[in-house]
Structure 1
Amino acid sequence: MSEAAASRTPGGAHPLDAVVWNALTTQQRRFAIGDERARRFPAAIAPFAALAGEDAESFAALRALIEPQRPVALVTPGEIALPAGFSVLRHVTLLQMLWQGEPDSTPACEHVRLGVADVPDMVALATATEPGPFGPRTIELGEYLGVRKAGKLAAMAGERMRLDGYTEISAVCVDPEFRGQGHAAGLMKLLIAGIRARAETPFLHVLTSNHGAIALYRRLGFVERRQMHLMVLGAAAD
């Protein structure tokens, strides 16, 4: 295990147990909306939010963030008992995986770096393939790479949440017309190399039901760290 992967926050909790909070209070604090009790990313970037605690004041602060910014998504190690004032729009189980593989010396796959001009194609691909939340400003979170075939965005992958020592790989998706050609694996290898060059550990989240993706990630050197809960919340009518 890498030195970064072995680190822990005070009290024995792993930094990735509170992944959203730690991202919004360290490497990505410039995106944070909220205060010391609850924070979220802007809705156009990502729906993710986090609580400082499970007290009434923190939940009230979180509910206030839903009103102008639409639903929020919590990623937590355990299930949360919600007070009144919230509606659960979705609740699924994720597998959080850490990269603990060996460096890959195979030649880099053919790719392009994606920028603002590519956002419409990126949103369209994410909408068609549903790799997870992806908005018009998600690209601001990190580097995104893609594969273009005959001018069409055939595949993409990029960096999403970042916290001290860790960077998440996300938005891994391939147009059905171009699957089975190694595009997802090739792009992920490039991202892994870039993250490791910053002395950070790659990690990712995947639905526990997505067995095909989990198998691919294992082949690339990711190991299962723990299950996490994803809960999408709206504000219930008063």
Structure 2
Amino acid sequence: MNSIHDLGGMHGMGPLPFEENEPFFHEDWERRTLGTHLLTLMTGLAVADEARHSMERIEALHWLASPYYEHWLDGTETYLKEKGIATAEELATGHATEPLPAWAAELSALEPETVGRMITTNHPVTGEAAAAPKYREGDRVRSINMNPRTHTRLPRYTRGKPCTIVAYRGACLYADARSLGDYGAVDHTYTVRFEGADLWGRDAGPKDAVYIDLYESYLEDL
């Protein structure tokens, strides 16, 4: 999706402020927002790719003017409404007006030990692909030029650019499809190298290059 979240490759956005010894949370609502968001993922209400897409749909000016954890809050509210867990009125007032859907009411509570284990251990990201990988190390390919209205992991500044396959990373969960509810989708994944000159033209340094892990669906023969 071409939204304000995709700032890769851009400049002129102003300085990046750094706070020495910055705390994890500046206010208590940030801590509670993170906890609520992670619990919706842990109970299976949504997957991370759905959550990312919910944040990508935040209006551009609001995104730029709001703090980091407000993006998480806005995104969580979006998929709570879309999945029928809460209404806009309930979120605004903090009071339930409708019963939970039957499937949501049957979700089990998580034990504290389970929560700790989930937070400190990454979830599996690989799967079994139906076909063999198309490309090998050293192949010259090109990223496709696409502008989907849904979630994608292909950065806008790399689209339609030539690149080189550096390594094959296996068949991984396919984020684009998972954001739309196809949770079992997988796709072959490669590390590719983009030359700086192909991305930024003559303004790039002679040794500039960008390495990105991309799905096979994002690549085409050069």
Structure whose alpha-carbon radius of gyration is higher: 2
Report if TM-score (shorter chain) is over 0.5: no
Given the two structures, how large is their TM-score scaled by the length of structure 2?
0.25
> Which one has the bigger helix percentage?
2
Given the two structures, how large is their TM-score scaled by the length of structure 1?
0.24
Bigger RCO of structures 1 and 2 (CA < 8 A, at least 6 apart): 1
